[in-house]
Structure 1
C-alpha cells in the first residue's frame, strides 16, 4: 500500500525530474524539480525521497522498505514525508547468530581482567628450608611456600592485567549492522525524523514527545554530524534514557541496548552509503584476512 502511495506521489511531485540535493543547512533534503519551484508560496511540498538504485542494485527487489518521516518541531506527531530504504541495508536477512557474535565481541574487546595470584616467589615467608634434605625420612622440600603446601604460591594462576581483546571478521561486523537495522525496522522500533532541531532546550518537551509517540523506555537518536544542536543537547542532559550518537559511531550493542532507534534523514543516507560501499567493494577478498590496525 505504501508503494502505491509513493508511486502516485512521484507522478504528482516529480513529473519532470527526480533529482534530490542535500541542503548545507542542517542536512535537510530539498526538492529542486520544476514542480516544486512552481508550487504556490506558503504551501509545503511533501518530502518524498525515492531510492536511487543506479549505483548499488539490491540483491532482491521484491523486498522494498519504506518509512514515514516524522516532525520534531512539535509534540504532536505529523508525517512530513516518505522515504525509501535500501533493501540490502534495512531488509537484510536477520542473522541472529551474527548479532550475538557482535554483542559478545563488543563486550569482551574492552574488558580487562585484574585477577591476580602470587607465585611462590611472591608469597611472604618460606625463605628457610623446612627440614634437612636427608636423614629424616621425609620428602625433599626447599620452602613451605611451595605450591604443594597450604598457603603456598599458585602455579599458572591468573596474572593481571589480562586483556580479552580480539577482532571480529570484517564482514561479520558489516552484516551485524545490517541485520540489527533490519530487525529494528521490522519490529517497528526504528523511526526516521527530519532533523534534530527541537524548538526548546527544556527536557519536558522531549519527554512529552517520546510519550506521545510511544518511543519506548530508552531512545538512541542518531544524526550524521557529531555536532548536535544546543537545544537537543541540553534537553537530553537531564534524561538518562535518551542518548545522542553520530552515525559513524553506530554499533550493534548500542542499538540493542536502546529500545527505540531514531535516525535523521541525513543519517539514513550516510549509513546506506557506507554500508552499501562495504557490501559491494571490489577488494572484499582482502578484508577477509587477518586484522590489521590500518584496516578501514
Structure 2
C-alpha cells in the first residue's frame, strides 16, 4: 500500500484543457466534458503549450518548494511574440534570497581583477644625473651628501612610489561567487528582466529583424543573449555584429557584471538547464569545505 502511494506521488500531472458547452437537451453536458483525474494527458501538439517540469528524482530537491517559479518560453522565428511553452525553474537558482551585498562584492571583484595600474615613479638609481659627490665630505660646513639625486633634492628619486605594472587582482571566496550568480538570476527574474526563448535560430541575418524583435518584446535598451554552446548560429552572429547593445555569451561564461550591465537577460532552454545543473552541483557538492580555503593558481 505504501509503495503504491509513493509511486503515485512521483507522477507529474499535466494540465488538461477543459471545455464547457451548454445544451438545452442535457443539463449535465458541462460535467461530461470535464475529463476525470485518472485519464491520461493528451500528447503535446502545436496548439498545446510545451510544459517542462522539474524532475526532482534526478535533480537536486529544492530547499522550499513553495517558492517554485515558472516562466514562458518565447519564440524567435518571427517578430510577433508567441508563447510556445512553459518551463519550471528551480527555486534554489531562480528564487534565491537576493543578497545585494554579495552582488556588490562580485561587481567590485570583477572590476578590480582586470585593472592594472600603470603609475610609475623612478628611484634614485633611475633618475638622470648625480653621478659624483656634490661637495667634499668635510671642510665646507655643509651637510654630508653623496648625490644630488637622493629623495632630499629636487629632481631626485621617489621613495616608496608606485611601480608599474601593479595588479589589483584578488580572488573572491568560492561560494560568494556562486551566491552572486543565483542572487543576480533571481533579481532578474523578479524584475521581469529575464526572458527564456526556445533557441537562438532566427530566420535571417538582417540586423533590422533583431531590432524589430527587441522593440516588439520590450527587451530594453541592451540585451544579453546566452546559449549553452559557444558556437552561435550564423544568422544571429551576423545580425548582432552591427548592434553594440546586443551581445552573445555562452552559459559557462555568464557572470554577475555582464548580467547587471545589460538591462535584459535572454536565456535559451538549454542554457537554463546547463546553469541549473552547474549551480546546483556547486551548492550541494560534498567537498564544500575544501573550497573555503585560500585560493591557489592551480585551483580548478
| Separation in 1, partners of 2:13, 2:64 | 24
Provide TM-score, normalisation by structure 2: 0.85
Return the match for 1:53 from 56, 61, 68: 56
> Residue 43 of structure 2 aligns with which residue?
36
CA distance in structure 2 between the aligned counterparts of 1:16 and 1:56, rounded to whole angstroms: 28
1:285 aligns with 2:289: yes
SS in 2 for 1:165: coil
Q: Secondary structure at the match of 1:36?
A: coil
**Corresponding position of 1:139:** 143
Aligned partners of 2:53, 2:297: CA distance in 1, in Å? Answer: 38
> Any gaps of 5 or more consecutive residues in structure 2?
1-11, 18-36
Q: Does 1:109 align with 2:116?
A: no
SS at structure 2 position matched to 1:276: helix
The 3-state SS of whatever aligns with 1:80 is: strand
Alignment gaps of 5+ in structure 1:
1-7, 18-32
1:212 pairs with 2:195 = no
Q: What value does the CA root-mean-square deviation take over the aligned residues?
A: 2.0
1:195 match: 199
TM-score relative to the length of structure 1: 0.86
Per-residue deviation, 1:16: 9.1
* Conserved 8 A contact 1:130-1:143: yes
When residues 70 and 9 of structure 1 are mapped into structure 2, their CA distance, relative to the original with a 3 A threshold, is: farther
Matched residue count: 269
Contact persistence 1:16–1:34 (CA under 8 A): no
Aligned mates of 2:48, 2:270 — CA distance in 1: 19
Alignment partner of 2:279: what SS? helix
Q: Larger C-alpha radius of gyration, 1 or 2?
A: 2
* Residue 212 of structure 2 corresponds to residue 232 of structure 1: no
* C-alpha displacement of 1:138: 1.4
Deviations 1:229-274 (A, max 9, x none): 1100000001010000000010011101111000001100100000
Q: Does 194-203 or 133-142 show the bigger shift?
A: 133-142
CA distance in 2, matches of 1:232, 1:113: 37
Deviations 1:36-56 (A, max 9, x none): 27x6xxx44411111122331
Higher deviation after alignment, 159-168 or 229-238: 159-168
Q: CA deviation at 1:295?
A: 2.9
